[in-house]
Amino acid sequence: MKLEEIRVKIDKIDRELLVLLQERMGYALRSRKFKESVTDSHREEAVLARVERMNLDLIEQSFTRQLLKTIIEESKRLQLEDRPLVAFQGEHGAYGEVAARKLAPDGAYIPCMEFIDVFKGVELGHFDLGVVPVENSLEGAVTQVNDLLTTTELKVVGEAKVLVTHCLLSIEATDYREIRQVYSHPQALAQCRGFLLRNNLEPHPFYDTAGAAKMLARENPKAAAAIASSLCAELYDLEIIKEGIEDGPSNTTRFLLLAREPYDGDGDKTSVVFATPHEAGRLYGVLRLFADENINLTRIASMPLRSDPGNYCFFLDFEGSQKEEKISEVLKEMERLTITLKNLGSYPADTPAA
């Protein structure tokens, strides 16, 4: 191998080590929820002893022990900070994490494989908060999340509107003229189709935008790039070749912040989900309550009821807080007109996407 090739390999391994260390710290933070003290000397010694038994001929045992002790000490330091654990779906760098950083700037951000893992993790107390996408300006409602909202006991305590800006990312020092393959989530690839066609780039579907960036950093496939967020460039030490490559501007996703307890302030927006009897005029009767009180609706969406095929539940967002007398009265009247009514909570409304 040439010296430059060796250095490329070393850089790749360094990136992998840091990504894995970030994952380890995340799991260490999650373990905080299962123990009374951050110090467990028996566990620490077991970890050190297990690693020392490994036959690593190029690494001195004393170095291995010191390295692991440093990592353990850093894990304990993080646990003592008592930062709220904020779950999101996807890998580190996903747009869900972008929203989480906006909604909980002092949080520790924990990736989950599926949306249900976010809901269940918060419900069981494994996480303090959860961030999930509820709707997108191009794709519409996020069906799986809306479905989970109909059954959860969690409360909505905030929202964030995130402008989805796709970036073409590559390993640093990659000649962009040599790039031929681009990896990303199918939705992101579709949203950047014009850019890919104009530049004769071959799309390769991947399970997640941030996952594609993570793979690129770890494996460094030849002549390849990824479409993901600018946050991914920071987290995985990737270079932004071009920013804003999506075909349509103003691609915005609205995220909800979930917690076990309701928002303790007044809030200026409220979300409910309800179902009415399958009879003429019943939905109109509910909506008229808001018109009569001059309450502005900001979202209305419908979804089939799994428990009652042929009938629908409705998601309603409106301006104002349930602590206001007129809204409190409307909610009481809704109970009379509906067969089910779930108040998801009042919370601060977000400003335009950023």
Looking at the 3D structure of the chain, how many domains does it have?
A: 3
Q: Look up 127 and say whether it is catalytic.
A: no
- Name the 3-class secondary structure at 256: strand
Say whether both 23 and 70 belong to one domain. yes
> How many angstroms separate the CA atoms of 13 and 79, rounded?
27
Spatial contact of 96 and 66, defined as CB atoms under 8 Å apart: no
Q: Which residues pair with 344 in a beta bridge?
A: none
Is the Cα dihedral 127, 129, 135, 136 positive or negative?
negative
- The CB density around residue 243, as the number of other CB atoms within 10 Å, is 13
Q: Of 88, 127, 255, 290, which is the active-site residue?
A: 255
> How many angstroms separate the CA atoms of 277 and 14, rounded?
60
Say whether both 214 and 283 belong to one domain. no
| 132: in domain | no
| 119: in domain | no
Say whether both 11 and 51 belong to one domain. yes
Q: Of 150, 152, 253, 270, which is the active-site residue?
A: 253
Say whether both 269 and 343 belong to one domain. yes
| 339: in domain | yes
- Name the 3-class secondary structure at 63: helix
Identify the pLDDT of residue 226.
98
- Name the 3-class secondary structure at 107: coil
In the chain, % of residues over pLDDT 90: 61
Q: What is the residue type of 132?
A: V
What is the per-residue pLDDT across 48-57, written as a single tens digit (0 to 9) for each? Answer: 778 777 777 7
Lowest mean pLDDT among 227-236, 275-284, 322-331: 275-284
CA distances from 32 to 73, 92, 105, 268 (A): 14, 20, 20, 34
Higher pLDDT, 126 or 9: 126
Identify the pLDDT of residue 353.
58
Is the pLDDT at 39 greater than 70, yes or no?
A: no
Which pair of structure tokens corresponds to residue 152? Answer: 């959860």
Which pair of structure tokens corresponds to residue 35? Answer: 């123990």
| 257: in domain | no
Spatial contact of 146 and 315, defined as CB atoms under 8 Å apart: yes
Burial of 326 from C-beta contacts in 10 A (0-12 / 13-18 / 19+): middle
Spatial contact of 230 and 167, defined as CB atoms under 8 Å apart: yes
Residues in the chain: 354
- Name the 3-class secondary structure at 183: strand
Identify the pLDDT of residue 37.
58
Domain around 215 = 167-243
Identify the pLDDT of residue 64.
81
Confidence of residue 325 (pLDDT cuts 50, 70, 90): very high
Spatial contact of 344 and 272, defined as CB atoms under 8 Å apart: yes
Domain boundary among 215, 243, 271: 243
What's the predicted TM-score (pTM) here? 0.84
The CATH number of whichever domain residue 199 belongs to comes to 3.40.190.10
> Residue 298: which of 290, 288, 307, 289 has the closest Cα?
290
Continuous segment of H or E residues that includes residue 159: strand 155-163
Continuous segment of H or E residues that includes residue 31: helix 3-31
The CATH number of whichever domain residue 292 belongs to comes to 3.30.70.260
Buried b (16+ CB within 10 A) or exposed e, 264-289: eeebebbbbbbbbeeeeeebeebeeb
Identify the pLDDT of residue 152.
93
Confidence of residue 211 (pLDDT cuts 50, 70, 90): very high
Q: What is the residue type of 83?
A: R
Buried b (16+ CB within 10 A) or exposed e, 176-213: eeebeebbbbeebbbbbeebbeeeebebeebebbbbbb
Q: Look up 318 and say whether it is catalytic.
A: no
Say whether both 228 and 283 belong to one domain. no
Domain boundary among 65, 81, 97: 81
Lowest mean pLDDT among 17-21, 39-43, 213-217, 247-251: 39-43
Is the pLDDT at 38 greater than 70, yes or no?
A: no
Lowest mean pLDDT among 19-28, 103-112, 235-244: 19-28
What is the per-residue pLDDT across 128-171, written as a single tens digit (0 to 9) for each? Answer: 999 999 999 888 889 999 999 999 999 999 999 999 999 999 98
Q: What is the mean pLDDT of the chain?
A: 89
